Chains A and B, each alone.
Chain A
Amino acid sequence: MQYVGSAFRRTGTLIAAILITVTALNGQRPASATYDSERQIRLEGSITRIDWVNPRAFVFIDVRDASGTVVNWAIDIGNPIELERRQWKRSSARIGDVVVVQATPARGPARQALARSVTLKASRKPVFTPPVARAATARRAPTPRWPDGQVRLGPLPGQKGYWGPASAKALVESSAASVRMNDDGLLADLSDADRVAPFQPWSKAVYLHRQRTLLKDDPIARCMPPGGPRQFMSLNGFQLVEQRELGRILVLLGGGNRNWRVIYTDGRPQGQAAEVVLTFYGTSVGRWEKDTLVVDSIGYNERFWFSNGGLPHTEALHLTERFSRPDYDTLKYEVTVDDPRTYTRPWKGGWDVQWVPGEEIEEYFCEENAEATFVR
């Protein structure tokens, strides 16, 4: 067995970026903070342990380095639910199997890496191949409606499905659609920060600090709920369950800790921000404007980042979200951010969310596992 730590600084970047696309929100810590996408390594060794746990499954292998010393590496193979969807099981490989791993190493000295491929050496068969992002569906079925003509936000009776991948990586002001960033929301060029949002000086400084520190302090890494627009950009998806007889819509989230949020549609007035208990999901009231659900939310605490990339906010945050469904498979999401303590003016952004037909929302829980053991 040997350890070849070659660095393909440029050629590996694109592959790593694709890989990070499918892993960014499955893990606890943003992939950019954990793994160094500028480097690629090849490892070869025997499997010593398989941790098949949420949110990240790990294969541990003994690798002999150039000096002959055997060191144990933790190989991050992705979310086990996604792996099982692609027919991989814990038993797909066994303790003692010799594997060849192409991977993105962790930052710093930790012996941890994010797998790009894992191959059984003897048979050259791939195993635990990381999941790939779902391709956009080609069909364009008509918008489903209730008998009274109102747009449905869930599946038709007898069908199932949920809202899955978002078309955007992070919330950006709609007038700056071409800001380059990775899938964690890390800007390719920090000088683009002014195009992301109309920051006040302090919030721009905080945003840049979060960017420069590779989002390592992201509250989602500590299993904090993804409040605000971020709840609609999780790979784990969400469901909008309309309880019309109760005058409310439940947002059931696949990410975070499978949290839920209530949007009241019973005509109640919005509360006053100073009087409501501040929470991760705020207090939301919604109303239909023709085919668009308009949701007004206040009462947010400051303990979360409301988008990938680390956008700051204060308790003054006021969101107006607009949901429309132009066809069966597309949810258009637009949000107006109004936080005069953080931004110089209200601004808006949004994205499309893709319907995942025929499947239930994923069983996902954010909890500590091997990752926390290896990278701090």
Chain B
Amino acid sequence: MRSAAHLLIVALVVFSARAPLAQEGHPLTGTWSGDWGVGAAKRTHITMVMTWDGTSISGTINPGPDAIAIPAIALDVTTWTIRFEADAKDGRIAVEGRIDDIASTHRTIAGTWRQGPAKGDFKLTRD
């Protein structure tokens, strides 16, 4: 059992050491995870799923019982910036961010996250 665990750890280390994969498909499509918050002390985990259907981008924040639907996500491909709004229980969410490292599978989006009266920052990494 222990040797199997060691093997698993070695396999994970080896796998994680591989070169990052390149971006394929629509740059926003997929599952993203990260957090938002006002300052470093209090962060709130976010999982976000975005979908491109050929004409528009939509998404879901925290899929599951407390999911928040994002009806439309705007992407400016000249600057790789995104913007969207959604209604949460504790207020309206308004987000602006920029995609970094567009060529990577594990690219990131970072920017400002407003939720109700709070204004913080966020960072999401594509899974």
Q: Mark interface residues in A293-316 (1 if CB within 8 Å of B CB, else 0).
A: 000000000111100000011111
Chain A: interface size category:
20 to 34
How many Å from the CB of A230 to the closest CB on chain B?
A: 13
Given contacts A202-B75, A205-B78, A213-B103, contact A341 B27 (CB under 8 A): no
List of B residues within 8 angstroms of A341 by Cβ: 26, 52-54
How many Å from the CB of B101 to the closest CB on chain A?
A: 11
B21 within 8 A of A: yes
How many Å from the CB of A246 to the closest CB on chain B?
A: 33
Chain B: interface size category:
10 to 19
**A314 touching B25 by the CB < 8 A rule?**
yes
**B26 touching A217 by the CB < 8 A rule?**
no
Q: Mark interface residues in B25-37 (1 if CB within 8 Å of A CB, else 0).
A: 1110100000000
Would you call the interface of chain A mostly helix, strand, loop, or mixed?
loop
**B22 touching A217 by the CB < 8 A rule?**
yes
30 contacts between A and B (CB under 8 A): A200-B54, A201-B77, A202-B26, A202-B52, A202-B75, A203-B26, A204-B77, A205-B77, A205-B78, A205-B80, A206-B27, A209-B102, A216-B103, A217-B22, A217-B103, A218-B22, A219-B21, A219-B22, A302-B25, A303-B24, A304-B24, A305-B24, A312-B24, A312-B25, A314-B25, A314-B26, A314-B52, A341-B26, A341-B52, A341-B53
Chain A residues in the interface with B (C-beta under 8 A): 200-206, 209-210, 213, 216-219, 222, 302-305, 312-316, 340-342
15 more A-B contacts (CB under 8 A) besides A303-B24, A314-B52?
A201-B77, A202-B27, A204-B77, A206-B23, A206-B102, A209-B102, A209-B103, A210-B103, A213-B103, A219-B21, A219-B22, A219-B24, A312-B24, A312-B25, A313-B25
